[in-house]
């Protein structure tokens, strides 16, 4: 959710959670007002089977699809501690109108859970998509993963793990899809380079790193352990094409610039959209003046990277 500029540096986890708790009801009402027509909504599918809210996803499908559509799997932000798929409904419906099936995913969050649980949930949601999205008119061999802020980090880490056995093994993941089925990654103001958190004066405190590690990182060197949290560390030539949108006013701007440079240095096809004035994760607000540019760019990106079906797949 868009977050106001924070005058303090080194915001601790507890302060972030208080801020998010105050913003969440207002943002839910604001972003889900006037639901979009032209799409079908299937809410709260239990993708694990345990009945908990954190293991639910929504499937949003455009009307009158005449052939299997690409699938956009989206993970909400919220600093890994808060957030829900519900405020992203209008954003996801906007992308579905652009000609794709959109799957909007919840997942377990910190501080009760850490990155292992979040990636296991993301992988389980992807498994559900692979097994079930064809019934909704989607093509399970043409998937784009995406998210904003912390959700962007989760989507990029999952994409990396599908092609990097060392990373998958670290989190005990049995990849739910082959890497070739993941045609692209979308990053909206994402936390994709954890090295910025260790820089003097950065807005988020080191507690965010500890929070995501098992046992809060006791006995670990945080900078070394953060390698397994940081998507930028796992980019290689086989990383999927990327669409990165950010803003010069976003406190994660430098993280996104570093990520873009790393993608391009490895020869990964990368599209970017940089706004001058928008705040963090403005993209989910469909009424923001800059969002329409993002949506056009995102939908063009999805069409481009999913244009061809894999050889041998009917």
Q: What pLDDT sits at residue 305?
A: 98
Q: What pLDDT sits at residue 185?
A: 98
Q: What is the mean pLDDT of residues 43-67?
A: 94
pLDDT in tens, 219-262: 888 999 999 999 999 999 999 999 999 999 999 999 999 999 99
CA dihedral 276, 281, 286, 292 (to 10 degrees): 40
Domain segments of the chain: what residues? 13-305
Q: How confident is the model at residue 201 (pLDDT cuts 50, 70, 90)?
A: confident
Architecture of domain 13-305: 3-Layer(aba) Sandwich (3.40)
Q: What pLDDT sits at residue 18?
A: 57
Among 78, 232, 60, smallest CA distance to 156 is for 232
Distances (CA, A) of 54 to 93, 118, 306: 21, 10, 29
284 in Cβ contact with 312 (< 8 Å): no
pLDDT in tens, 255-294: 999 999 999 999 999 999 999 999 999 998 888 899 999 9
Q: What pLDDT sits at residue 34?
A: 67
Q: What pLDDT sits at residue 216?
A: 84
């Amino acid at each position: 959710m868009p977050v106001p500029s924070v005058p303090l540096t080194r915001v601790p986890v507890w302060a972030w959670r208080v801020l998010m708790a105050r913003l969440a009801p207002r943002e839910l009402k604001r972003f889900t007002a006037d639901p979009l027509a032209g799409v079908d909504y299937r809410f709260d599918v239990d993708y694990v089977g345990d009945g908990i809210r954190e293991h639910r996803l929504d499937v949003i499908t455009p009307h009158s699809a005449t052939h299997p559509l690409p699938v956009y799997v989206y993970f909400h932000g919220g600093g890994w501690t808060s957030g829900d798929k519900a405020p992203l409904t209008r954003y996801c419906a906007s992308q579905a109108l652009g000609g794709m099936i959109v799957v909007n995913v919840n997942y377990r969050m910190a501080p009760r859970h850490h990155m292992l649980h979040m990636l296991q949930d993301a992988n389980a949601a992807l498994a559900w998509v692979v097994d079930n999205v064809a019934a909704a008119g989607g093509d399970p061999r043409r998937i784009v993963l995406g998210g904003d802020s912390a959700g962007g980090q989760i989507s990029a880490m999952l994409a990396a793990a599908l092609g990097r056995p060392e990373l998958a093994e670290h989190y005990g993941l049995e990849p739910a899809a082959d890497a070739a089925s993941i045609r692209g990654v979308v990053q909206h103001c994402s936390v994709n380079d954890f090295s910025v958190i260790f820089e003097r004066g950065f807005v988020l405190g080191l507690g965010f790193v500890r929070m995501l590690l098992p046992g809060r990182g006791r006995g670990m060197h945080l900078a070394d352990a953060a390698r397994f949290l940081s998507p930028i560390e796992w980019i290689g030539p086989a990383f999927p094409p990327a669409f990165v949108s950010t803003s010069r006013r976003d406190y994660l701007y430098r993280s996104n610039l570093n990520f873009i440079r790393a993608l391009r240095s490895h020869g990964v096809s990368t599209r970017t959209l940089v706004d001058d004035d928008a705040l963090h994760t403005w993209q989910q607000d469909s009424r923001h003046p800059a969002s329409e540019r993002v949506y056009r760019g995102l939908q063009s990106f999805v069409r481009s990277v999913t244009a061809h079906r894999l050889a041998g797949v009917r």
